[in-house]
Amino acid sequence: MTRRSARQIWGRAFAIVTALLATLALLVGCSTKSDTEQPPEAKGPQIVYEPAADADDVSPIAPVSVRVEDGTLRDVTLTNPAGKPVKGAPSADLTTWTVGEPLGYGVTYTWSGTAVGAENKTAPIEGSFTTLTPDSRTSANIQIADGQEVGIAASIIVQFDAHVEDKAAVEKALTVKTDPPTVGSWAWLPDDNGSRAHWRPQNYWVPGTKVSLDAKLYGVNYGDGAYGDSDITSNFSIGRSQIVKASAPSHRMQVIRDGEVVFDFAVSYGEGNEDRNVTRSGVHVVSEKHEDFLMSNPPFYENVRERWAVRISNNGEFIHANPETTGVQGSSNVTNGCINLSPEDAAVYFPTALYGDPVEVTGTRIDLSAADGDIYDWTIDWDTWKSLSALAEKPGSPVSATAVKPAPIPAQPSTPGR
C-alpha cells in the first residue's frame, strides 16, 4: 500500500472544510433572506352602503345605513340638497350608522364622513341615492279625535281620499291597541269617496276601555303608483254603556245605561206604508247631534227646523223632537222614518247621547243595510266581518278583501227625512 504524503492529506482535509463552509454559508444565506421579508400591507377599511351608492327609487321608509368592515366610522352625516342633516345614530362599536327618521319623496341624499381602519388608513364616506317620486299621494283621516270619549258601538274608521289598490299592504300598517285586550278586526267596506277601513270589536266595547290607533301610512305603497301621504294616530276611550232600545210596535223608546232603564219615552216611528218611510231595523250608531237642524225631504218638505236632533243613520234617520206628532206618540207610527219625541223628552235625551252609542231598532219590515249609509257595521255577522279584512285567509284563493262585500251604497240625499 502506497504511503500518502502529508501534503496530500492536508490538501484533502482542506477541500472537505471548504465544502462544509460553502454549505454553511448557503444555509445562513437562506435564513437571512427569510428573516428580512416584509409583512403584507394592511388593508384599508371596507365600506358597505344600504341602499347601494347611486340607487334610485328608494322607498322613504326603507332601512338606510352605512357600515364599515375592519374599521370604525367618524363624523358621518347624510344630508338633503339644502344641506340639512338627517337624524341618525352610530352603533355602540362605531361600525354602523343608521338613519332614524323617514326620508322625503323624490329627494337626493348625500353621504359624508370618514372610515378609519388599521394603521390609521382612512377611506371617505361618500356618494348619494335618490328616493322615489310617487305618481300620487293618498291622505287618510280618522273620525275619532285624540282624547275623545265614545260610545260602546263606535268603530274606528280610517277614510282615504282615494281608492286603495293594495289593501293588504295598508292594513299591515294599521295597529290597534286596547286596554283591556279586545277582540276585533278590520273590514274594508265599499269605497265611499275613497276607500275606507273600519275596525270593530266582536261585541260592544267594555266601558272604560283605552284605545289607540297607530297608522304608519307614510311611504306605504298603495298600488297603482300611489303612496301614503302621512301617518295618523288617535288615542281615545270608551265611555259608559248606553243602549237605546227602540221597538217600533211598542211606540216607545227605552234608554238603558249601565244595564238600567233610565228613560222610557213615548215615541212615533216611520209610518211604514212605503219603503222610504220605514224606520230600519238593526243596530244603528249615533254619529252626530245638533240642537237645531234644518231637515229636507223633497218633495214632502224642505228646510224644516227640528230641535234636539241626534243622527243615527246617513239615510236620514234621526231621533229628534217633533211637536207635530206629540198627539200620537206612544200610540201610532206616522213619521217619514225618524224617531219622534216630544220637545221635553228630546231635550232630556239629547245631552246623554254620545258618538258611538248603539240604537237597536226592532219590529219593522226592512233591515238596516249598506244602502242606508256609512255606519252599518253591526248589521254584519262576525264571521263575514272578519272575511272583509284584506289579511283574512280565503280558502283556495289568495288573500283578498273582495271575496265578500255588502251591497254598494247608492247616492244619498244631502238632507234627512223627518
Residues with a known catalytic role = 320, 338
Which single residue is written with the C-alpha cell 258618538?
A: 355
Instruction: State CA 71 to chain mean position distance.
Output: 39
- The three-state secondary structure class of 391 is coil
Cβ-in-10-Å burial (0-12, 13-18, 19+) of 126 comes to middle
Q: List, as own/partner pairs, every contact residues 291-295 make where C-beta atoms lie below 8 angstroms and the sequence separation is at least 24, other chains included.
A: 291/350, 293/318, 293/320, 294/415, 295/415, 295/416, 295/417, 295/418
With b meaning 16 or more CB within 10 Å and e meaning fewer, what string describes 272-311?
beeebbbbbbbbbbbbebeeebebbbeeeeeeeebbbbbb
Amino acid letter, 134: P
DSSP per-residue letters across 87-104: PEEE-TTSSEEEE-S---
DSSP per-residue letters across 289-341: EEEEEEEEETTTEEEEEEEEEEE--TTS-EEEE-GGGTTTTTT---BSSSEEE
* Count of all residues that appear for the chain in the document: 418
DSSP per-residue letters across 218-269: TT-EEETTEEE---EEEEEEE---EEEEEEGGGTEEEEEETTEEEEEEE-B-
Residue 32 phi, psi dihedral angles, 5° rounding: -65, -40
Distance CA 199, CA 214 (A): 12
DSSP code at position 35: H
Pick from 334, 205, 329, 213: nearest CA to 264 = 329
CB 248 within 8 A of CB 333: yes
